[in-house]
Structure 1
Amino acid sequence: MTDIALPKPQTTIRDRLAAARPPVGLWFAGALVWGALMAAVLGLSLYGMERLDSGHTPALFGLYFSGGAIGWLLALPIIGFFSFRRRPETRFAAAFLFLSCGTLGATALLFALQYRMFYAQWHAPFGTVIWTFQFAFTSASAVYQFTALGSRHYFPFGVALLVAASLWLARRNR
């Protein structure tokens, strides 16, 4: 006797887009919670390095909070889109990938914007070819500097929170 495999339900792009719209409460409250957790992770890291008394600490807390909140806002719809009607492992992987990339990317972008604002006083006038090169290379160097120096603050507590959030999102997005 052979088992007859039932066909999988067809998913349309409309179904995926509908699944990509998270509930508003989860979207915005989750952004605030995730941003606060990322700021807390920074605080734990700075405390462990005995650097909480720096003059830049409030700006860093704002940067990590904003990066976490924006990362959550960007990642949640993408997670919903790619994990729609998928297995739990796939939902976990989507949440882990997109939430980590969203958080790191948003924080790096905000760092690059702040970096650019500082160096803008020495750059050529807006719209010139030289300004374009200066803007591109200043931004690229800021993202590199954040990747090399700023992402270390997410270890190990940020990764543990990322795994916990990914597990929660994978169970929630059935």
Structure 2
Amino acid sequence: MRQSTSPAAANGRTRPLRLAFLGALFWSAAAGASALLGLSHWADLARAAAVSERFALGALIAFPAALFFARPAARGGGRIRRFFTFLLLLGSATLGATGFVFALQSVLDAASWHGHPVHLVGIWLFYTVLVGLYEFAVIGVRLYFPYGLAALLAFSLWFALRPR
């Protein structure tokens, strides 16, 4: 007997991918909007949009990773465990991925006006990545408050309440 290749039959296989893709898009939009609202007082809106794009890219990278690790970590627990698991994993993955994006941008910015001998590249790269992470930690994290935190709570609640 021939198996059906309808979208309904394939739904069981594509649902986790669709969930990760759509969740990443919505989480990315929420993080980018949170940063843009925090930077709305800037006179140069093009720079504010560029910073907001970094936040959105970090969130886009973070959501599928957090979802991948949250499913097995929250398995066997109740709604409260699922809520706090996703809250912790999505929050830390978003901060880590966004910090990584800021560090890469710092390397690209510095590389455009630095010319180092080959033996100093490792030291320069290490220092520049640390500067980018520091910049994000000191200046960037505050842009997640209060809107990003509200979105994080909403996404965690969604994860806790959705059927397994």
Distance 1:165 1:40 in 2: 15
User: Partner of 1:38 in structure 2?
Assistant: 31
Distance 2:147 2:73 in 1: 26
Q: Aligned equivalents of 1:41 and 1:52: distance in 2?
A: 17
List 4+ stretches of structure 1 deviating above 2 A: 52-55, 123-126
Residue 162 (str. 1) matches residue 123 (str. 2)? no
* Contact 1:116–1:139 (CA under 8 A) maintained in structure 2: yes
Looking at secondary structure, tell me which structure has more helix per residue.
2
Deviates more, 1:85-94 or 1:21-30: 21-30
User: Matches of residues 8-19 of structure 1 in structure 2 within 5 Å?
Assistant: none
**Residue deviations 1:48-79 (CA, integer Å, cap 9, x gap):** xx116344123112211111111102111011
User: Is the contact between residue 103 and residue 129 of structure 2 (CA under 8 Å) also seen in structure 1?
Assistant: yes
The alignment-based identity, stated in percent, is: 33
Alignment of 1:1-174 (within 5 A): 23-47=16-40, 50-51=41-42, 53-120=44-111, 121-126=113-118, 128=119, 130-172=120-162, 174=164
Structure 1 residue 44: Cα displacement: 1.5
Q: Which residue of 2 aligns with 1:13?
A: none
User: What CA RMSD, in Å, does the superposition of the two structures yield over aligned residues?
Assistant: 1.8
Structure 1 residue identity aligned to 2:141: S
Mapped contact 1:123–1:131 kept (Cα < 8 A): no
Kindly tell me the number of residue pairs found equivalent between the two proteins. Answer: 150
TM-score of the superposition, structure 2-length normalised? 0.84
